[in-house]
Structure 1
């Protein structure tokens, strides 16, 4: 610990030093692992209670938004539905990191309650997100979840957010039309799997066909989402499902997508130019927003500690707050660890926006 406490401060080093030139702070890595060794076991009670409670509130509020006659009450119900279902949906991130033997049937339960109804099965993230955590792929052209947004033109940021509004339409087309049709066309199937089967933001990333047990998971998850999408299309076109109910449902999914896209903007600094980065550099390109109440709403399920998550990706979400307290308490305020903490969502987005206005731009 003494070695770490005396390390040279690197406050906001990423503002002047390229990420690829940063050396690994091995003392910090060892200390973080040592202090959190007892926090790696997921608590089933917390997981199931949090997930099912969030989903129940979300669906109840959705029903309220559809059924109540008061416009103001309907809007309030819709907002509550978006926030609750957003929280429930973000457990997809936990599913990608879980040792499923420690939390049996959670993936199945999540897909039945959220994945299929929201047309967002977990295979859309599984097999994608772990590439983002790969030591040699983070921030490179092979990373499906990374774009150098800070190096792009200013209009890239609003465009990035606006695309999320159309996400429910895209999911409806993917699972209601393209997915079923691709079963009869190998060429279309390759396109659907490669381009339209992952929550990726890198347009150059192309997904490979699933294999083994994951392929079995993929099949039943896709079947469930397709059944929901086809049912929505058919019942709306035939008038069985009122157009108002359909639009509110799609609007809630769109709201979930927009908040998540905003959170994604604040998850990293997006300043890597495609170079391979070490763990410390990846950490410094990522963001913690540990203080305040609002991060519990826009970055729930532990994602307010996104930089810490990149440092210790195996920690369950309910352990991240305690891990942050332990590590922060063991280090000085000018340590490398504190460099990744920012005061608010606004501060992170403002930094990103300012960086897009600098030249040269992509």
Structure 2
């Protein structure tokens, strides 16, 4: 199988391709100068700042939940629309901390995982076990971009209609999560076969339909079970109080609408997080970096649609242990250190429209 990665972007020179012996595959060689600079220039940035994590999370959810209440109760259409938008952005930012939770050493920010699950994970029916133990596979050097990567699909190589379907289906995520926790969780206690299916196929925030999750063990299993019970009880309660009229139907539908909106927003961000040009072969770290996207300043909107450091997604793949609040400074240092010919600069893009257009064009060119 022949593998190619388009490098026709930016102003830097092409990264040399290296033949893989006996495989007939052309791979992008690792740029050791870039990898070394990224590590050396950021050694003092690796320590997370608990005050930043807690302050950001609490402010995000306070804004998100407060605006959600306004959207669900206001009699003014204009106020409802504005409040709904604010709620979507606030809760989306709060939810995005699941990415940090999946990477951090929990002792470095004590009780943050617990606090995040209480404030966001359980109420939004996306407890941290849905991402922990899954996202790290996406960062495994030999798994990225392969069939074993839970967070990768070769979207740029697929049919054009797959892109709108990829976005539209995400709007159903809140309903799917309600069903998963209010119905499938309790029923799976009665059926080992159903339990296996729930664990393997419905317990991961993954986009690869071939991915099957392994059952947790030990302390991870105990923590999973506690979170699943909490999320299941919340899902059942939410449905129950709506049916009983305690929670007005309007409020319930507003909750679903806001949740669907930030699910779609996150899916759009996912669509442009990578170039999705790999056809399943293992890739070098540099090739993975170039298949991933940074949207740095001066662009302002990425702070809203790619919050909590996600605008530096390519840099994150170089330095997955770096806390989100350090990524901006890391990018400035590395960008200043490496000359214009470095592949580091080739992963930066000006904004969302151009990225969507690039991926859409790729699906059409390859037909």
Flag structure 2 segments of 5+ consecutive residues without an equivalent: 1-10, 18-23
Asked if structure 1 preserves the Cα contact closer than 8 Å seen for 2:38 and 2:334, the reply is yes
- Distance (whole Å) between structure 2 residues aligned to residue 147 and residue 178 of structure 1: 27
Q: Does 1:189 align with 2:195?
A: yes
2:57 equivalent in structure 1: 51
Q: Does 1:344 align with 2:351?
A: yes
2:366 equivalent in structure 1: 359
TM-score with structure 1 setting the length: 0.94
Cα-Cα RMSD: 1.6
**Aligned counterpart in structure 1 of residue 252 of structure 2, from 235, 246, 256:** 246
Asked if structure 2 preserves the Cα contact closer than 8 Å seen for 1:135 and 1:279, the reply is yes
1:4 equivalent in structure 2: none
Q: Does 1:32 align with 2:38?
A: yes
Q: Does 1:95 align with 2:105?
A: no
**Alpha-carbon deviation of 1:334?**
2.9
**Alpha-carbon deviation of 1:101?**
1.0
1:318 equivalent in structure 2: 325
1:117 equivalent in structure 2: 123
- Distance (whole Å) between structure 2 residues aligned to residue 289 and residue 13 of structure 1: 24
2:133 equivalent in structure 1: 127
Q: Does 1:205 align with 2:208?
A: no
Q: Does 1:232 align with 2:235?
A: no
Alpha carbons of structure 1 residues 113 and 20: separation in structure 2 relative to 1, 3 Å? farther
Q: Deviations over 1:148-207 (max 9, x none)?
A: 000000000000000110000000000010111101110100010010000000000011
- Distance (whole Å) between structure 2 residues aligned to residue 36 and residue 146 of structure 1: 27
**Alpha-carbon deviation of 1:216?**
1.4
1:82 equivalent in structure 2: 88
**Aligned counterpart in structure 2 of residue 151 of structure 1, from 134, 147, 157:** 157
Alpha carbons of structure 1 residues 20 and 37: separation in structure 2 relative to 1, 3 Å? farther
Alpha carbons of structure 1 residues 283 and 186: separation in structure 2 relative to 1, 3 Å? same
Alpha carbons of structure 1 residues 12 and 235: separation in structure 2 relative to 1, 3 Å? farther
**Aligned counterpart in structure 2 of residue 10 of structure 1, from 10, 13, 28:** 13
TM-score with structure 2 setting the length: 0.93
Which structure 1 residue ranges, 4+ long, deviate > 4 Å from structure 2?
A: 11-14
Asked if structure 2 preserves the Cα contact closer than 8 Å seen for 1:279 and 1:311, the reply is yes
**Alpha-carbon deviation of 1:11?**
4.7
**Alpha-carbon deviation of 1:10?**
3.3
Asked if structure 2 preserves the Cα contact closer than 8 Å seen for 1:65 and 1:77, the reply is yes
- Distance (whole Å) between structure 1 residues aligned to residue 42 and residue 320 of structure 2: 12
Flag structure 1 segments of 5+ consecutive residues without an equivalent: 1-7
**Aligned counterpart in structure 2 of residue 172 of structure 1, from 149, 167, 178:** 178
**Alpha-carbon deviation of 1:126?**
0.5
Asked if structure 2 preserves the Cα contact closer than 8 Å seen for 1:11 and 1:339, the reply is no
- Distance (whole Å) between structure 2 residues aligned to residue 257 and residue 19 of structure 1: 37
SS at the partner of 2:115? Answer: helix
Query: Where does 1:246-325 land on structure 2 (aligned, <5 Å)?
Result: 246-291=252-297, 292-325=299-332
Q: Deviations over 1:65-115 (max 9, x none)?
A: 011110110111011000000000000000011011111100000000000
**Aligned counterpart in structure 1 of residue 342 of structure 2, from 311, 326, 335:** 335
SS at the partner of 2:261? Answer: helix
- Distance (whole Å) between structure 2 residues aligned to residue 9 and residue 166 of structure 1: 41
- Distance (whole Å) between structure 1 residues aligned to residue 100 and residue 189 of structure 2: 30
Query: Where does 1:213-232 land on structure 2 (aligned, <5 Å)?
Result: 213-232=219-238
- Distance (whole Å) between structure 2 residues aligned to residue 20 and residue 104 of structure 1: 45
**Alpha-carbon deviation of 1:223?**
1.1
